[in-house]
């Protein structure tokens, strides 16, 4: 009995020791993992997370940098449950920098359908490291848009465009439009026939135009030759005109010189005439005075000749004036 009691105590002590050792290892592992990994949150609203599982891989440029910790629908916010948003918590290697412009997208294996999260950073220039998000326990990585979603969106838009085109084509090929199209084709056939006839006439017109063009070219050649001849004659006439103008300029210069000489001579002659006129005026005045004296003497002599007695004997006393003597 005592041996069995001892074995029980030893076994219980061994179990307790092993449990304490396991707990210690787990505690160290959890502490180390907290230091080696950083938690982040991603809200997916535009992408489905089909195939995403806990411990699914999180990669960056194809390199595994973390794991998915949990995911669930978003909680109540402002009284409304955002059922279109899925909150995914991930744990990333603390040595991996996550920037403010880093986005998370869902990628899937097309064969197995297993999904994973890929982190994409378009450009690190000017971006800051994501450290925290106001109102969130963990930093929040923004949701991106995967290439498959973009392709699916483009295919969907292409399908809508194709449906619209088919609807327009169906309306175009209605009974009324088919009749109108048949009439249009018939009219086009008639128009083509008329165009063929007019093309024949147009060919004839083009032949005539070509012949007229040849005539015009020949006429142009003749005109060019005539223009050259006229140009030579004009140059000759221009030379003659230039010579005539030069001679006229020389003649004008000679006439100008002669006019200046005549003006000088005229001024000199005018001065001399003025002087001569003054002398003649003085001489004429003296001559007139002498002539007047001579006329008075002649008149007196004539009076005496009319009375010979007086001329011989002198004037009679009766004809003498007061104070006159015989």
Q: pLDDT 10s digit of each residue in the chain, 326 long?
A: 555 666 677 777 778 888 878 777 776 565 445 558 899 999 998 888 888 999 999 999 889 999 999 998 876 554 555 567 889 999 999 888 899 899 999 998 888 888 999 999 888 777 788 888 888 889 999 998 876 666 766 777 788 787 888 877 777 667 777 777 788 788 888 888 777 777 787 788 788 888 878 778 787 787 777 767 766 666 766 677 677 777 777 877 777 776 776 677 767 766 766 677 676 777 777 777 877 887 777 777 666 656 555 555 555 555 555 555 55
CA 175 – CA 73 distance, rounded (Å) = 55
DSSP string covering 105-155: EEEE-TTT--EEEEEE-S--TT--B----TT-SSPEEEE---HHHHHHHHH
**Listed residue (131, 39, 136, 125) closest to 89, CA to CA:** 39
CA 252 – CA 113 distance, rounded (Å) = 115
Mapped onto helix, strand or coil, the DSSP state of residue 70 is strand
The confidence score (pLDDT) of residue 32 equals 46
Mapped onto helix, strand or coil, the DSSP state of residue 49 is coil
| pTM of the predicted structure, to 2 decimals | 0.40
**Sequence ranges of the domains in the chain:** 37-145
CA 217 – CA 139 distance, rounded (Å) = 88
Q: Which residue(s) pair with 59 in the sheet?
A: 64, 118
Q: In terms of residues, how long is the chain?
A: 326
């Amino acid at each position: 009995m005592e041996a069995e009691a001892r074995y029980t105590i030893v076994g219980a002590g061994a179990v307790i020791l092993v449990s304490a050792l396991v707990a210690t290892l787990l505690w160290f592992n959890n502490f180390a993992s907290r230091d080696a990994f950083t938690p982040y949150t991603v809200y997916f609203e535009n992408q489905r997370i089909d195939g995403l599982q806990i411990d699914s891989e999180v990669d960056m440029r194809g390199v595994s940098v973390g794991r998915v910790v949990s995911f669930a629908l978003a909680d109540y916010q402002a009284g409304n449950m955002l059922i279109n948003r899925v909150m995914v918590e991930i744990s990333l290697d603390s040595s991996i920098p996550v920037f403010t412009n880093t986005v998370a997208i869902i990628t899937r294996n097309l064969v197995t359908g297993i999904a994973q999260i890929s982190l994409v950073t378009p450009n690190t220039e000017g971006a800051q490291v994501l450290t925290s998000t106001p109102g969130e326990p963990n930093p929040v990585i923004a949701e991106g848009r995967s290439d498959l979603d973009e392709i699916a969106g483009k295919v969907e838009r292409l399908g809508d465009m194709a449906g619209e085109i088919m609807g327009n084509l169906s309306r175009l090929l209605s009974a009324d439009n088919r009749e109108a199209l048949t009439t249009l084709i018939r009219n086009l056939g008639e128009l083509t026939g008329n165009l063929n006839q007019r093309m024949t006439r147009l060919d004839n017109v083009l032949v005539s135009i070509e012949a007229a063009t040849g005539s015009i070219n020949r006429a142009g050649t003749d005109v060019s030759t005539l223009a050259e001849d006229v140009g030579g004659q004009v140059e000759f006439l221009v030379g003659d005109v230039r010579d005539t103008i030069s001679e006229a300029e020389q003649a004008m210069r000679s006439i100008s010189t002669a006019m200046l000489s005549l003006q000088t001579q005229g001024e000199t002659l005018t001065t001399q005439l003025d002087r001569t006129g003054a002398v003649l005026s003085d001489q004429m005045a003296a001559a007139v005075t002498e002539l007047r004296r001579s006329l008075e003497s002649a008149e007196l002599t004539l009076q005496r000749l009319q009375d010979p007695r007086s001329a011989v004997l002198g004037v009679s006393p009766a004809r003498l004036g007061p104070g006159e003597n015989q």
